Chain A
Amino acid sequence: MVATYETKTDYKVIGSSPIRHDGLDKVTGRAIYGGDVKVPGLIWGDVLRSPHSHARIKSIDTSAAKAMDGVFAVLTHADFPKADERVISAGEDTVDLQRDQANIMADSKVHYKGHVVAAVAAVDRNTAEEAAQAIKVEYELLSPVSDVDTAMADDAPIILESLVGDHLGESVPNTNIAKIFRHEFGDVDDAFANSDIVIERTVEMSMIHQGYIEPHNATAIWAEDGQLTVWSSTQGSFGVRSQTAGLLGIPESRVKVNYVEIGGGFGGKTKVYFAPIAALLSRASGGRPVKFVMDRSSVFEASGPAPGGKVRMKIGVNRDGKITAADTDLILEAGGFPGSAVGAAAICVFACYDLPVSRITGYDIVVNKPKSAAYRAPGSPQASFAIETVIDEICDELGIDKIKFRLDNAAHEGTRRGDGVQFIRVGLEECLVAAQESDHWKSPLGDAPDGRARGRGIASAYWMNGGGKSTCDLMLQDDGTVMMNEGSADIGGTRTSIAMQAAEVLGIPVEDFHPSIPDTDSIGFTGVTGGSRTTYTTGLAAYNAAQKLVIELKGRVADLWETEVGNVEFADGTFTANGDSIGIQELAGKLDPTGGPATSTSSVNLAEAGNAYGVHICDLEVDLATGKTDVIRYTAIQDVGKAVHPQYAEGQIQGGAVQGIGWALNEEYFITDDGAMANKSFLDYRMPTSLDMPMIDTIMVEVPNPLHPYGVRGVGEVPICPPLSAATQAVKQATGKAYYELPVKPARILEALNGD
């Protein structure tokens, strides 16, 4: 059974915005990140990366590196334990043993420029770098496959020769198409034939990067007793444990991962790159701790970005503005090994609309680019861009208000997603109404200065949010404060948003909580901080642990007052029975004679998370001489269920919106003819900064999630999705030209303007 809740509405802690517990350490530089890890006897690792995007490895000569002074060990793929050809479940993720091994260190071929070929451990960082560069590799160069069209061509060079594609359930060898799958309900072709208007477009988008500030890093000690200890910047310590153990062929119980603070992830820090390599080098170096820190260009070239690709989108409507049919092909780049976000894209693509019939076909395409990884609502931004581009054209064609059209066709409780699953209570209609009533939507766009033009765009999007496994432990201390251990990496203030949920139950100020994130030996399994799951899922574990603590304390109170436990009541932080009362923090100092410390723990494994919707409005100006765009007003409306910590929820929405605007207007992997990324630095990979953006206004709509006692929904993912189309449609309105390829960068705008 799945619990559903009558949502609480009167709060003392939930809905306030206290200062985060880790704030002082982070602003003063005391917080320990992966790059700060120092262990006695520390040595450094470095890697040799492929200069080619597609090549066969003919030979590797490590003799010169091994002979260098200060070098302890050299590693190639041959030093990894032989992996079985299988996929294992690892925590909440899967590990393809052979392919993930081959991704972190190439075996017979390199699949992208920057692919690791060999690694060394040496006395210091410079020596390690010098030794890595001394390794000689002989390559047989192969034609690079840099986009989905090239990869899907009949005569395409095959990148992963062992791949047997799954094409709608049929096994297909010699292909770069790792998977074709379909969700189809109803007679789609007949519905199109009976539609008044059918619009079909194909949109394209480049691979882009999450752009987290802190690069990947790992330190590992593989001691003589077989115990492996790891420090690594990650969104989930248990994910590092699972993947590292899986790729090294050892039990997870032999791996301990210490939590370190994380300087941004956005999905990109859910996969391991260095930990297994550092472990093997540590073992080969006599158990010395080995540390890796990735350089920025390698972060771009070789750690998982968001997939580019193309999406064909066909929508049919009647003259009265009701959608009659929808059909799409989602074709996303997996990168050098299978596994793009196309599955999630397929779930999200039609989720804003109540469709009578639909067909979704997904393609997972191997190309000579880094293996893609998650990035905020993985797959949904690409899907949202495609459908919202066509919806915008339909509204123009019909002459219908763009919010009214969306309201007339909006998904609601009972609507089936494109994959057939039915929605519980969702808040898209409430978001659209809030957009309709917003000052932004009601305000005129205004006139642009000479030489510039203004436009407004609007778009909606969906993310299903995540549940899964989390653990939280509580201990009431003698002084009335609460020690809280929980397993979620804290990226966006989740220590505080989790503690607030326990504080609400206990009636203790959240400032009296001491939240910690211990190592994987010291807390129950907790999934990755991702999928907008943490405040919801680990927060629910904290809520449950607090409820258990109250039950424990009622027994203690009954003991103290020599009454039956059934006579003890608890409300607003105070226990009462038979006319007596005592506050929970006062009680904390009287617990010793009743059985010592009062503790509780809760682990949850949640089936679902309650869905999230966002609607964004973007006003921007275009410089008609240069094509430069400036966002001048932006409003993000989102159903947050219940904002536990409104300031952090707003920050998530604003951050996601800015990343989405960058995706729409500037960011791209610029790939040269030889398959290399030309713009592998923050100087050339142009992400928006605070200087580029206006204040992102937010409107938080609260439609309580029935799966959570406080109505919480995840907030971090969906805000990156609508900007891709909202900003693009704003440029369309400003310039009178439609854009079907991202980013809508100045050169592309000028090309459109000058094409008359």
Chain B
Amino acid sequence: MATVFLPYALRKYADGAEQVEVAASTLGELVDNLEAAYPGTKHHLVVDGALKPGLAAIVGHLATRRGLLQKLDPDVEVHFITAISGG
């Protein structure tokens, strides 16, 4: 099961939980299963079948570059944060 660290704005869909467990083999499946378990979350994360522009998904320690296609190891942790560019 992946551990999803819910962005603060999404915690209201999960009774205020900071983290939830979601079974998924890809990031896309994780977003779908998260929506199934906690309706209302998906539209914060995905638009037109891809991660929202300006949003980054951290899988394990690293920001995935494969978007919703990213494969997930068992027991991996997933974060959704604002994508950052530098100076």
Contacts and interface: CB of A to CB of B under 8 A. Distances in A.
A466 B64 CA distance: 13
Interface string B1-35: 00001011110100000100000000000000000
Contacts of A419: 79, 81
A717 B65 contact: no
Nearest to A611: B61
A608 B62 contact: yes
A263 B53 CA distance: 30
A451 interface: no
B8 A182 contact: yes
A380 to B, nearest CB: 9
A355 to B, nearest CB: 14
A423 B82 CA distance: 17
A378 B86 contact: yes
A533 B86 contact: yes
Given A347-B81, A605-B65, A607-B65, A531 B53 contact: no
Interface in A692-717: 716-717
A530 B63 contact: no
B27 to A, nearest CB: 13
Nearest to B18: A185
Contact of B63 (A210, A266, A528, A607): A607
A184 B81 CA distance: 13
Nearest to A169: B9
Interface string A457-469: 0000001111111
Interface stretch (A52-60, A86-94, A284-292, A430-438): A86-94
Interface residues of A, number: 53
A168 interface: yes
B85 A92 contact: yes
Given A169-B9, A608-B63, A87 B54 contact: yes
Nearest to B70: A607
B62 A2 contact: yes
Chain A contact surface mostly: loop
A533 B12 CA distance: 36
A531 B84 contact: yes
Contacts of B87: 210, 266-268, 270, 374-378, 530-531, 716-717
Given A89-B53, A607-B62, A608-B61, A374 B85 contact: yes
Contacts of A485: none
Interface in A330-345: 343-344
A164 to B, nearest CB: 15
Contacts of B60: 2
B86 A463 contact: yes
B53 to A, nearest CB: 4
A546 interface: no
Contacts of B58: 421
Q: Which of B8, B50, B81 has the largest count of A CB atoms less than 10 A from its CB?
A: B8
A464 B8 contact: no
A183 interface: yes
A593 B8 CA distance: 64
Contacts of A465: 86
A305 to B, nearest CB: 12
A102 interface: no
A81 interface: no
A251 interface: no
A378 B85 CA distance: 8
Contact of A169 (B12, B64, B84, B85): B12
A424 interface: yes
Interface string A499-531: 000000000000000000000000000001011
A343 B61 contact: no
A423 B79 CA distance: 13
A183 to B, nearest CB: 6
A466 B85 contact: yes
Nearest to A707: B62
A183 B18 CA distance: 10
B6 to A, nearest CB: 9
Contacts of B63: 467, 607-608
Interface in A180-202: 181-185
Nearest to A347: B84
A530 B8 contact: no
A376 B53 CA distance: 23
B54 A532 contact: no
A606 interface: yes
Contacts of B85: 92-93, 270, 374, 378, 466, 528, 530-531
A717 B87 CA distance: 7
A422 interface: yes
Interface string A399-430: 00000000000000000000111111000000
Contacts of B7: 181
Contacts of A2: 60, 62
Contacts of B84: 343-344, 347, 464, 466, 531
Q: Which of B44, B82, B86, B87 has the largest count of A CB atoms less than 10 A from its CB?
A: B87
Contacts of B64: 607
A376 B7 CA distance: 27
A717 B83 CA distance: 17
Given A375-B87, A421-B58, A467-B63, A181 B79 contact: no
Contacts of A530: 85-87
A57 to B, nearest CB: 29
Contacts of B18: 184-185
Contacts of A717: 86-87
Contacts of A375: 87
B8 A606 contact: no
A181 B53 contact: no
A532 B86 contact: yes
Contact of A421 (B44, B61, B65): B61
A423 B65 CA distance: 18
Contact of B44 (A169, A420, A716): A169
Contacts of A377: 86-87
Contacts of A184: 8, 18
B81 A168 contact: no
A419 B55 CA distance: 13
Contact of A343 (B5, B10, B53, B82): B82
A468 B85 CA distance: 10
A533 B65 CA distance: 15
B53 A423 contact: no
Nearest to A720: B87
A93 B60 CA distance: 23
Interface string A466-489: 111100000000000000000000
Q: Which 9 A-B pairs have the closest CB atoms?
A: A531-B86, A267-B87, A169-B9, A343-B82, A607-B62, A182-B8, A374-B87, A608-B62, A376-B87
6 contacts: A169-B44, A466-B85, A528-B85, A530-B86, A531-B84, A532-B86
Given A266-B87, A374-B86, A606-B65, 6 more contacts: A89-B53, A92-B85, A347-B81, A377-B86, A419-B79, A419-B81
Interface of A: 2, 87-89, 92-94, 166, 168-169, 181-185, 210, 266-268, 270, 343-344, 346-347, 374-378, 419-424, 463-469, 528, 530-533, 605-608, 716-717
Interface of B: 5, 7-10, 12, 18, 44, 50, 53-54, 58, 60-65, 77, 79, 81-87
